[in-house]
A = this chain, B = another copy of it.
Amino acid sequence: MIIQAPYLVFLGDATDKLSIKMAQGVADWRAQLCIGETSVPGCTVTTGLEQMDIPRAAKLGAKTFVLGFANSGGYLEAKWVPYIQEALKHGMDVVSGLHDKLTDVSDIRQMAQSLGRQLIDIRHPSEKFKTGTGKERVGKRLLTVGTDCSVGKMYTSLAIEKHLKAQGVSASIKATGQCGILIAGGGVAIDCVAADFISGAVEQLSPDADSTHWDIIEGQGSLSHPAFAGVSLGLLHGAQPDALVVCHAMSRNHMRGLPHQSLPTIIDTIRLNEQAARLTNPNAKVIGISVNTSSVSEEDGIAFCQALSQELNMPCVDPLRMGVATLLESLAL
């Protein structure tokens, strides 16, 4: 799955920052791949990208129209079909991260076919996967794991990739969720793969590479989440990571979406992930902790990380407030 840049990001009539997470992610991490954003009357949010209509974006060279918003059911509402068709007519491919598939809407599918455009439903992997083998692969791999879902695994992975590249280290982000795939320009929506192929898909996503190259693999879910631990374990085995970074969000009282389910401790999360990872990489090791401290002041966030670092005797940072340099100190780069 290859997504052609540059992108025109479509916000629809969104009024909630959370609902444009995908658009915001690509604007934050790949502004250089974005021509601008477009929306319809009623939209009250912005990614900060330049606003323009579809014809103007086409003139400026936009190659892909990105549905950058989500609703709770992941539905593709009929009111967006004309905008998608306009983008197709203006020479763009279309990317959607919704559950509903673009290719299931016959008006969209037929127009795309007749114009020779790609429809990319990034939640619906089109590749054929093999089952995993656990065989040792060449190259280095770092995987972000978590105490819970939505704790900053994608942002941490992207911050690490960015830092390594700035240091001249050969590194690639390997995306496993819809936002990450859009930002990386490719990847596999691992939670949508048939269960048999979770680890195999990750093996294909991060194949043999140069021995000094680092693949930074975006994690999903948590080994301690009753809904998603299977995804997390298959991803962990397929990733075969040399280094693990445990991600955590401050001020969370229970597992996401499950008020009855308590959070694991960070120590337990370290142990559980190292134990499981060693099935396919006996040297797998947690090298540090990444904390999303956005729920508290910068001062309190940094203090929390420092205390945790002392307690665990390993680096602990909020990547957005403190950078990731110290997190990576133990890697022999």
Q: Please list the residues of chain A having a beta carbon within 8 angstroms of any beta carbon in chain B.
A: 131-135, 190-196, 198-200, 223-224, 226-235, 237-238, 257-258, 260-261, 276, 279-280
Q: Known contacts A229-B234, A230-B230; decide if A191 and B199 are in contact (CB<8 Å).
A: no
Contact check, A261 vs B198: say whether CB atoms are below 8 A apart. no
| 8 cross-chain CB contacts under 8 A | A131-B228, A132-B227, A134-B227, A193-B195, A195-B230, A199-B227, A229-B233, A230-B230
A191 to B197, CA, bound (A): 8
Please determine whether B199 and A230 come into contact, CB atoms closer than 8 angstroms: yes
Which residues of B are found within 8 Å of A261, using beta-carbon distances? 134
A257: which B residues are within 8 A, CB to CB?
Answer: 131
Set of chain B residues within 8 Å of A258, measured between Cβ atoms: 133-135
Known: A227-B200, A233-B230, A237-B229. A135 touches B260 (CB 8 A): yes
In the complex, A233→B231 CA distance in Å?
Answer: 9
For residue A230, which residues in chain B have a CB less than 8 angstroms away from its CB? 195, 198-199, 230-235, 237
A230 to B231, CA, bound (A): 6
CA distance A238 to B229 in the complex (A): 10
Q: Which residues of B contact A191 (CB under 8 A)?
A: 194-196
Q: In the assembly, how many copies of this chain are there? A: 2
A48 to B226, CA, bound (A): 43
Given A134-B258, A233-B233, A261-B134, residue A280 in contact with residue B226 (CB < 8 A): yes
* A279 partner residues in chain B, CB cutoff 8 A: 224, 226, 229
Q: What is the distance, in angstroms, from A180's C-beta to the closest C-beta of chain B?
A: 16
A205 to chain B, nearest CB (A): 14
Which residue on chain B has the smallest CB distance to residue A124?
B194
Residue from B190, B195, B229 within 8 A of A190 (CB atoms): B195
- From B135, B192, B193, B199, A229 is in contact (CB under 8 Å) with B199
Question: Which residues from B are CB-within-8-Å of A229?
Answer: 199, 233-234, 237, 276, 279
Q: Which residues of B contact A196 (CB under 8 A)?
A: 191-192, 227-228, 231
* Cα distance, A279 to B135, chains bound together (Å): 29
Contact residues in B for A199 (Cβ distance below 8 Å): 226-230
8 A-B pairs closest in CB distance = A230-B234, A134-B226, A132-B227, A191-B196, A131-B227, A198-B230, A230-B230, A195-B231
CB distance from A149 to the nearest CB of B (A): 10
**CB of A132 to closest CB in B, whole Å:** 4
Check B195–A226 contact: CB distance below 8 A: no
Q: List B contacts of A233 (CB < 8 A).
A: 223, 229-230, 233
